[in-house]
Structure 1
Amino acid sequence: MSITLSPEQEQIIQILLATGRFHSVDEVIKSALRLLEEETISNQGWLEETRTKIDEGIASLERGEGIDGETFVNQLLTQLQQAKKAEK
C-alpha cells in the first residue's frame, strides 16, 4: 500500500518524531490508526446506546408515559435554577 501525505502531515510526523515519543514513521501511523479505531468503537457504542434510549423513549410515549414539551422545559429550567443556587 502506498499513501501520499500533505506537507502539513509530514511536518506533524516530523514534530512527533522529534519529541522522542516515536522512533519511526511506522510507529506514528500505527498509533494514529489505533486512536482512530478506539474513537470509531467508542462512537459506535454511543450510537447504539443512543438508539436504545430513543427506542425506550418511543415505547414509553406509546404507553402514554410521556410528558408534553412545555412541562419538560419547565422542569428542566427548575432543575437548572436549583443547580445554580446550589453552586453559590
Structure 2
Amino acid sequence: MQIVLPPELEALIQYQLDSGKYRTAIEVVLAGVIRLEQEEDIYQGRLQELQQDAQIGWEALQRGELVDGATAMAELRANLRTRYASEA
C-alpha cells in the first residue's frame, strides 16, 4: 500500500526527521497514530464523565434541587464573603 501525502505533511515529517528525534518517516507516522489513539481514549473517558454529570444534573432537576444561575452565583458570593470575613 502506498500513501500519497500532501506537501505540508511531508514537510512536517521531514522537520521531525531533521530534528533527530525520529530515524524514519514510519516512526514519525507511528508516533502520530499512537498520539491519536491516546487522545481518543482521553476523549472517550471525558465523554463518559460528562454523560454521568449530565445524568446527575437531570436527576437533581427531577427532584427539584436545582436553582437558576443567578441564584447560584449569589449564593457562592455570599459564601465567599462569609468565609473571607471570618478569616480576617
Q: Same fold (TM over 0.5)?
A: yes
CA shift digits 1:1-55 (9 cap, x unpaired): 3322111110110110011110001100000000000001101111110010000
d(CA) in 2 for partners of 1:66, 1:19: 54
Counterpart CA distance in 1 for 2:42 and 2:66 is: 30
> How do 1:1-80 and structure 2 match up within 5 A?
1-75=1-75, 78=77
Quote the Cα distance in structure 1 between the aligned partners of 2:38 and 2:56: 27
Q: Sort the Cα spacing of 1:75 and 1:5 in 2 relative to 1 into closer, same or farther, 3 A.
A: farther
Distance 1:43 1:10 in 2: 28
The structure with the larger Rg is 2
TM-score where L is the length of structure 1: 0.80
Structure 1: unaligned runs, 5 residues or longer? none
- Structure 1 position 69, deviation (Å): 2.5
Task: Return the TM-score normalized by structure 2.
Answer: 0.80
Secondary structure at the counterpart of residue 28 of structure 2: helix
**CA RMSD between the two structures:** 2.0
Distance of 1:8 and 1:55 partners within structure 2:
43
How many residues are matched?
81
Runs of 4+ in 1 over 4 A off after TM superposition: none
